[in-house]
Structure 1
Amino acid sequence: MTSADSPSPEARPTPHRRLFWYTIVIAIVVIALDQLTKWWAETSLADGKRVPVIGELIQFLLVYNPGAAFSIGTGATWIFAILAAIAVVVIGLLAWRVGSKGWMVAFGLLLGGATTHLGDRLFRAPGFGRGHVVDFIDYAGFFIGNVADIAIFGGVVMLLILMLLGIRLRGGRGTVR
């Protein structure tokens, strides 16, 4: 291959642009897993039965959550739809700037979780912008969540660790920018 055949530096994606696309792939995987498991829960748990997974510690139980975590704000579902939309946009913009693999994974998890929650709010019953999130993983009666919740929690934990370690958004160590 001659130098004339090699792509110009402008044609090659920059490292942070490549990481952005990996972020999108992680988000798509989270969305697919979340929606597939919700479909499974709605078809397998619709009769109200509890399915023990790890005794009473982890069980499957189908619920429709109009609120946020712990069913907070059940009368403000449309507000959660707006907040999820804002989160998707902000995470997407930040992910475009990412230069660290750790931040890439964290943003992918957050973007996937926020996007699938937004989709639930927009397209599930009882109506547009008021949809209820499908939850089915019961954690000892303390909290009932879904795969998106696990991804969001994991993404937040990763962000905290990255910040504590001083890993920058664009890579390297120092203060987060």
Structure 2
Amino acid sequence: MRVHLGSDHAGLDLKNHLVGWLTDHGYEPVDHGPFVYDALDDYPVFCLRAAEGVKKDRDAGLDSLGVVIGGSGNGEQIAANKVEGIRCALAWSEDTARLARQHNDAQVVSVGGRMHSLADMTRFVELFLAEPFSGDERHARRIAQLSTYDVDATLPPLPESAQGLGPDA
């Protein structure tokens, strides 16, 4: 499996560590940078490229996922989610890493390089990469609603229990 990586200066050490870890574990890392420490770098430059790499691979039928890394992982997640068709989840625990794949079929995971130990973050990535999408109907339905919105901004219909309530009433 190919794994696209992007970060900012705060995620550089973890990204560099993951390149070696991924290779050692049979993955094919694709490093989109940064390649040197620059405290003023901009995470969108690298994280958008990583997410685009995942999208291009998957569109070509290749098995590909991505990892974006920053200080908190928040901005990097936002950047990756700007790539049409990409779902990026912020992982802060083993459970959130697994559920990102299992329930959300996320293709990219974001982790905060200043939030956890190197061992914990590596474990989050390991679990994310190993976990398959469950394929459960409820999860597929929710993902389809998001995909439809991505394409044409169509809101999912309100459930019957919400009819006549709230701002849509």
Scaled by the length of structure 2, the TM-score of the pair is 0.29
Bigger share in helix: 1
Scaled by the length of structure 1, the TM-score of the pair is 0.28
Larger Rg: 1
Greater RCO, CA 8 A, separation 6+ = 1
